[in-house]
Chains A and B, each alone.
Chain A
């Protein structure tokens, strides 16, 4: 699985202009785009999902061209086969957990899942240990449970890639650690590559195999974190905060992540 992103976009508001000019390639199970707020990481993720249209550039996921301004290709969001987990999960408030997860596979006239879909929904709810919440509404469940519903809803269509927008920002710090492990188990279980954007160095330490650092709308550096010593693309060793955290974390590969079972975080 290989993701190629090369996009340019100028965002204008009354007060200022923001130039996004981002180019990176990644082919790892978990890639993290790291940057402060306003660095352009959300805009990048939205462009990959097809929610915003770049001014120019090219986006290729797993050999499939999703956007290419030169060829006039702009695949609509619904046909990109890209999973997107919103920062606050964007669970539909008028639907139960079960109906939320079933929505992607239901025809438009159905609210509750049809028989064949119902089994898939049930399996997914069980994998994420939210089967008992099937009839609950999003406002009745906890933050961690909401994230699981968001993941289940996205994974039911077997997306080619999973995009996660600040997946742990809406959770309290203790829960974050557990949900990070859970996310890695999910990655291992569903074999779906993930692209996570975050401004939390802990997410980099806990998740990243490949790191893209954004700063003011540009890629500052890309770092391969699969083996020590960690070096950036110019071969310069990475020091400082990120490296120290990398030494502290126990999760460094698929194998380690696989040994961590999915647990209810109630």
Chain B
């Protein structure tokens, strides 16, 4: 077992998971806040649609991404002709796949967190002369951030372990798109048990740590 066999996929995975968590958190918070604070017909349907990537098979998700971002897809062909950028079989493609699977976890946690913020605090801030932007940044977000952070951590863990969609979109190119879980699959297939064991233990430790930490964050605060 060489250190490159472990470090390269580990660092790549961390990079992919960090970007994916960032995007998933930004979009998740935005969408959750918009939906949580409005009432319109089809709200429940939209809520369900946002959660869809959680229950859909990763291969189906990966297929959708390929259709959209692939060289002949509507987004992919536009990116190719405008910027000369191809996302398929790149680590950026893996970020898209991971973002999509991490999104529902952040979205759900953020929606719950926003609904848990007593609307009275927001009203109080409004009557005190604060703009909607200031209300969100100074009142809503600080009161909801623990839930959002917990969701982001779960999303990070999910992005870390992403396999199916990533394999379809980014492929399995050692050193370029081979993430942890794909490297584990590869090592087991090739009979390199030592590498597989080590990678499995690393992944497990990270995931357990994240679960414990996010569980702590989700405990209620400001009680009593």
Chain A contacts to B: CB under 8 angstroms: 49-51, 76-84, 86, 90, 92-94, 103-104, 106-109, 111, 139, 153-154, 157
- Report the minimal beta-carbon distance from A157 to chain B, rounded to whole angstroms: 6
How distant is the Cα of A76 from the Cα of B129 in the complex, in angstroms? Answer: 9
- Report the minimal beta-carbon distance from B128 to chain A, rounded to whole angstroms: 4
Given the interface contacts A86-B120, A93-B222, A94-B143, does A78 sit within 8 Å of B127 by beta carbon?
Answer: yes
Chain B, residues 116-154, CB within 8 Å of chain A (1/0): the string is 001011011111111101100111001100000000000
> Which residue from chain A places its CB closest to the CB of B139 in the assembled complex?
A92
Interface residues on B, range: 20 to 34
Chain B contacts to A: CB under 8 angstroms: 118, 120-121, 123-131, 133-134, 137-139, 142-143, 222, 224
Task: Please pick, from A77, A94, A103, the residue contacting B123 in the complex, using a CB distance under 8 A.
Answer: A77
Is there contact, CB below 8 Å, between A79 and B127? no
Interfacial chain B residues near A77, Cβ < 8 Å: 123, 126-127
Q: How many A-B residue pairs have CB under 8 A?
A: 64
Task: Please pick, from A109, A139, A157, the residue contacting B129 in the complex, using a CB distance under 8 A.
Answer: A157
Interfacial chain B residues near A94, Cβ < 8 Å: 142-143, 222
Give the secondary structure class of A's interface.
loop
> Which residue from chain A places its CB closest to the CB of B130 in the assembled complex?
A78
Task: Please pick, from A76, A81, A86, the residue contacting B124 in the complex, using a CB distance under 8 A.
Answer: A86
- Report the minimal beta-carbon distance from A167 to chain B, rounded to whole angstroms: 14
How distant is the Cα of A106 from the Cα of B142 in the complex, in angstroms? Answer: 16
How distant is the Cα of A84 from the Cα of B123 in the complex, in angstroms? Answer: 10
How distant is the Cα of A157 from the Cα of B128 in the complex, in angstroms? Answer: 8
Task: Please pick, from B121, B131, B139, the residue contacting A78 in the complex, using a CB distance under 8 A.
Answer: B131
Is there contact, CB below 8 Å, between B137 and A82? no
Interfacial chain A residues near B127, Cβ < 8 Å: 49-51, 77-78, 80, 82-84
Interfacial chain A residues near B222, Cβ < 8 Å: 93-94, 139
Interfacial chain A residues near B142, Cβ < 8 Å: 94
How distant is the Cα of A82 from the Cα of B124 in the complex, in angstroms? Answer: 11
- Report the minimal beta-carbon distance from B141 to chain A, rounded to whole angstroms: 10
- Report the minimal beta-carbon distance from A153 to chain B, rounded to whole angstroms: 7
